[in-house]
Amino acid sequence: MAPNLGCVRIDDVRRIDLGTFVRPAEETGTGQPRIEAVYAYVVRTAAGVLLMDTGLGVVDEETEAWYRPRRVPIEDALASVGLELTDVALVVNCHLHFDHIGANPRFTGRPLFCQRRELDTARTADYTVPELVDFADASYELIDGEAEIAAGVYVVPTPGHVDGHQSVVVTCDDGSVVLAGQAYDSASQWSADALAARALDLGLAPPLPQPSPWMARLLEFDPRRVVFAHDAAVWTP
Ligand SMILES: [Zn+2]
């Protein structure tokens, strides 16, 4: 059984709003553009305040025009939950696309947790904003697979959106919370996959959908809440 944090509860995992971007019709498959929210999460851990993702980076003019980002400064977002930049002790990025790492350079001297595979990918051409990846005094803590990064706080690889994607599980006094990041764009996609992973337990017979290979691992934590980088909806069992 995973150790818990002593006095952190599910409600202590807080969402902060870092803005929006507009996904153009060419990318939505619906014939219409879609406004996407950009959320980050903060929670106190035994190793200090953890911040999952840091918002929309400044991009080149072409990308700026394509996605029309509206940014909330990280200071303002943290202030909304009574925190300052200096309160953050560790940063986890679900992956290194520009909409998840915008304020990473503000957290020098703090460990930035990411999958080694993701950092390697981020250093290839046309993946993200290089200045937001390799900046002065960036201190990456590279992970290969799953790791407990603070007591009761686990990073779990959740490849799909990108190969190096990862999610965070926080075990609280009253249950665990999964910070899914962009493992799925929406809570309803998670719902479907969670059912797929349980299909045999439910006594269902083939043909059945194939769940993500990591879903069973996340369900072992018996999450009471799953939250997302781009969806305000929350999954509960
Ligand atoms: Zn994203």
Question: Which amino acid makes up residue 35?
Answer: I
pLDDT at residue 4, rounded to an integer: 46
pLDDT beyond 90 at 1: no
Whether 92 contacts 168, CB under 8 Å: yes
172 CA distance to ligand 1 middle (Å): 26
- The total of other beta-carbon atoms located within 10 Å of residue 205's CB is 7
21 CA distance to ligand 1 middle (Å): 10
99 CA distance to ligand 1 middle (Å): 5
pLDDT at residue 6, rounded to an integer: 55
100 CA distance to ligand 1 middle (Å): 6
Q: Report every protein residue that has its C-beta within 5 angstroms of ion ligand 1.
A: 99, 182
Whether 14 contacts 42, CB under 8 Å: yes
Which residue matches tokens 């909409």? Answer: 99
94 CA distance to ligand 1 middle (Å): 9
Question: What's the rounded Cα separation, in Å, for the pair 230 and 20?
Answer: 9
For strands 111-115 and 88-92, give the pairing.
parallel
Which residues, 6 or more positions from 177, have their beta carbon under 8 angstroms from its beta carbon? 10, 13, 43, 169, 170, 223, 224, 225, 226, 227
185 CA distance to ligand 1 middle (Å): 8
- Residue-wise pLDDT for 172-182, tens only, equals 999 999 999 99
54 CA distance to ligand 1 middle (Å): 11
- The total of other beta-carbon atoms located within 10 Å of residue 73's CB is 14
User: What's the chain's average pLDDT?
Assistant: 95
How many residues does the structure list for the chain? 237
pLDDT beyond 80 at 167: yes
pLDDT beyond 70 at 2: no
- Residue-wise pLDDT for 80-132, tens only, equals 999 999 999 999 999 999 999 999 999 999 999 999 999 999 999 999 999 99
pLDDT at residue 122, rounded to an integer: 98
170 CA distance to ligand 1 middle (Å): 21
**Whole-model pTM?**
0.95
52 CA distance to ligand 1 middle (Å): 12
Higher pLDDT, 208 or 200: 208
As given in the structure block, the two tokens for residue 15 are 């969402």
- Residue-wise pLDDT for 11-39, tens only, equals 999 999 999 999 999 999 999 999 999 99
For residue 187, give the H/E element and its range.
Answer: helix 187-197
pLDDT at residue 128, rounded to an integer: 95
pLDDT at residue 43, rounded to an integer: 97
Higher pLDDT, 195 or 2: 195
- Residue-wise pLDDT for 50-93, tens only, equals 999 999 999 999 999 999 999 999 999 999 999 999 999 999 99
For residue 77, give the H/E element and its range.
Answer: helix 74-79
Whether 151 contacts 3, CB under 8 Å: yes
Question: What's the rounded Cα separation, in Å, for the pair 130 and 128?
Answer: 6
